């Protein structure tokens, strides 16, 4: 367009915005001494002391580990503070399984094979609802695919935390 514009919500006088697009980050799964209890809480000793990855803007921390034949993922994001300094409540909209998740608060994980021709897309919403899909080369999600994985979530006034357990057998079966 010949008339550039910026749209913001809750901000006045914004004159410039910067958008940084990054490549997906490959994460390593460290061996875990014991399997974490899937309760949506990052208990001391269950996960490494330092996160595997951190998103600077949201202060979200991600943890990856493996115990036996199971991969474990955890993510935690501090509660959002509004422009008046108040903690915003999480939106626990009751979304049905495998529904559109882009309008909901949640955490998404993408796991792919080495060639990136097959992607497992998992998501857990703040209310515990889950989404899973298998995406092949055509880019269309197969919502009929239902993986054998488990999750737990806690969304309270301090943070939104999700823990996920993915059996290696589920990924092996996919190829």
Residue-wise pLDDT for 109-157, tens only, equals: 888 877 778 889 999 988 888 889 998 888 888 889 999 999 999 999 9
Residue 151 structure tokens: 């999750």
Residue pair 89/95 in contact (Cβ under 8 Å)? The answer is: no
In this prediction the pTM is 0.81
pLDDT digits (tens, 9 = 90+) for 44-62: 899 988 999 888 888 899 9
Kindly tell me the burial class for residue 135, based on how many C-beta atoms sit within 10 Å of its own C-beta (0-12, 13-18, 19 or more): middle
């Amino acid at each position: 367009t010949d008339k550039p514009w910026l749209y913001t919500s809750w901000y006045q006088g914004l004159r410039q915005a910067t958008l940084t697009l990054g490549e997906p980050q490959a994460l390593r799964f460290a061996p875990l001494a014991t399997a974490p209890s899937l309760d949506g809480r990052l208990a001391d000793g269950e996960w490494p002391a330092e996160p595997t990855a951190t998103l600077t803007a949201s202060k979200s921390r991600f943890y990856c580990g493996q115990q036996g034949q199971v991969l474990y993922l955890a993510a935690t994001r501090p509660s959002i503070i509004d422009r008046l300094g108040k903690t915003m409540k999480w939106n626990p909209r009751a979304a049905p399984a495998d529904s559109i998740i882009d309008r909901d608060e949640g955490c998404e994980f993408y796991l792919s094979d080495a060639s990136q021709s097959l992607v497992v897309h998992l998501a857990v919403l703040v209310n515990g609802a889950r989404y899973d899909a298998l995406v092949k080369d055509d880019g269309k999600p197969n919502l009929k695919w239902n993986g054998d994985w488990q999750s737990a979530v806690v969304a309270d006034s301090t943070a939104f935390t999700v823990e996920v357990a993915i059996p290696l057998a589920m990924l092996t079966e996919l190829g």
